[in-house]
Amino acid sequence: MDITLERVGYTYAAGTPFQKRALEDVNIRIPSGSYTAIIGHTGSGKSTLLQHLNALLKPTEGVVRVGDTEITRQTKGKQLRPVRRKVGIVFQFPEHQLFEETVLKDVMFGPLNFGVPEEQARARALELLGLLGLPEGTAEKSPFDLSGGQMRRVAIAGVLAMDPDVLVLDEPTAGLDPSGRNEIMDLFRRLHDERDMTTILVTHSMEDAARYADHMIVMHGGTDVMQGPPEEVFGDEERLARWRLGVPRTVAFQREFERGAGLPPSPPRLTEEQLADYLAAAVGKGGGAR
């Protein structure tokens, strides 16, 4: 299910003294099955863009296409139901949206609301709580008696319970400790591979973008300024710096090394493994790696 935005603009509180232009002439394509990272400085429009993907916001101008569904300013609520079902969004600090008396009820809420039979919704919720590494017995607890990291996992289970084709993640690990972060990011990667989902990750971490994504979109000042594979995006440090964005630590190290060794810049090494191989080859060949 490809997602495209054509000439999309969005204005908050249009026609009021508080009006604010957040998106301007956005033209992007998110290929079906891709793991797409969206990066951009604070205020560049990433969250506003995400909310167009399941029609929480409708474009002020232009068209959003999610599979066969076309969303414009005029599209009515009923026509948006399939999109809301297919596109699951994990917002920043999703645990703030937990509200039911028990964890189980919270995870079952979405599916029951969309007509999934109770037994099926229960079985799926229990399976997901296990998959997310929550201890047995969590299902009957109040979500508010859990730790912050556990609440985050429950909220994520609630989004996955809808069995989305597209999973949208807005800084999903913000505020978690490093081991919790890695576990959750690796879980999303596994789900992406096993379930054939399209995954869209908004992140300030260039390392996460480099490690997980196969496609990237760069936002600046409310518009898309670059799209392509991570090798291409992170290969252009100068342009990224203009948008106040950096490169992953591995690439920064590689560039320092190349400058120090008098080597021309070579394709960016995006992971520690790639960097280690590159350095080993460079040292092995007496500094002649390309």
Ligand X SMILES: Nc1ncnc2c1ncn2[C@@H]1O[C@H](COP(=O)(O)OP(=O)(O)OP(=O)(O)O)[C@@H](O)[C@H]1O
22 makes contact with ligand X (CB under 6 A): yes
Nearest distance in Å: CB 171, ligand X: 7
In whole angstroms, the minimum distance from the beta carbon of 284 to ligand X comes to: 42
Q: Which of residues 135-174 bind ligand X (CB under 6 A)?
A: none
Instruction: Specify whether the backbone of 13 is left (phi greater than 0), alpha (psi in -120 to 50) or beta.
Output: left
Q: Which is nearer to ligand X, 90 or 103 (CB)?
A: 90
Tokens for 71? 């969303």
Q: Is 46 in the site for ligand X (CB under 6 A)?
A: yes
Type of residue at 81? R
# residues contacting ligand X (CB under 6 A): 12
Q: What minimum distance in Å lies between the beta carbon of 150 and ligand X?
A: 24
Using the contact rule CB under 6 A, the part of the chain among 38-46, 54-62, 97-105, 113-121 near ligand X is 38-46
Please report how close the Cβ of residue 87 comes to ligand X at its closest, in angstroms. 17
Start-to-end Cα distance in the chain? 38
**Whole-angstrom distance, CA of residue 219 vs CA of residue 225:** 6
Alpha carbon separation from 33 to 1, 156, 162, 198, 282 (Å, rounded): 8, 20, 18, 4, 35
Helix spans in the chain (H): 46-53, 81-86, 103-113, 118-131, 148-160, 178-195, 206-212, 230-233, 237-242, 249-261, 272-284
Q: Pick one of 7, 14, 20, 256: the residue that binds ligand X (CB under 6 A).
A: 20
Query: Which residue, 51 or 69, is less far from ligand X as judged by CB?
Result: 51
Q: How far apart are CA 48 and CA 89, in angstroms?
A: 12
- If one asks whether residue 48 binds ligand X (CB under 6 A), the answer comes out as yes
- Interacting span for ligand X (CB under 6 A) from 35-43, 109-117, 226-234, 245-253: 35-43
Contacts of 215 (CB under 8 A, 6+ apart): 30, 31, 34, 35, 36, 37, 227, 228, 229, 230
Task: Answer yes or no: are the C-beta atoms of 53 and 3 closer than 8 Å.
Answer: yes
Q: What is the dihedral of CA 75, 203, 35, 236, to 10 degrees?
A: 110
Stretch that binds ligand X, among 12-20, 174-182, 209-217, 232-240 (CB under 6 A): 12-20
44 binds ligand X, rule: CB under 6 A: yes
47 binding ligand X? (CB under 6 A): yes
For the chain, how many helices (H) and strands (E)?
11, 10
One of 42, 74, 147, 179 touching ligand X (CB under 6 A) = 42
Applying CB under 6 A, the span of 45-53, 116-124, 127-135, 153-161 interacting with ligand X comes to 45-53
40 belongs to the binding site for ligand X (CB under 6 A): yes
Residue 220 has phi, psi (to 5 degrees) of -150, 130
Cβ at position 206, least distance to ligand X in Å:
14
Does residue 59 belong to the site contacting ligand X (CB under 6 A)? Answer: no
Q: Which residues bind ligand X (CB under 6 A)?
A: 12-13, 20, 22, 40, 42-48
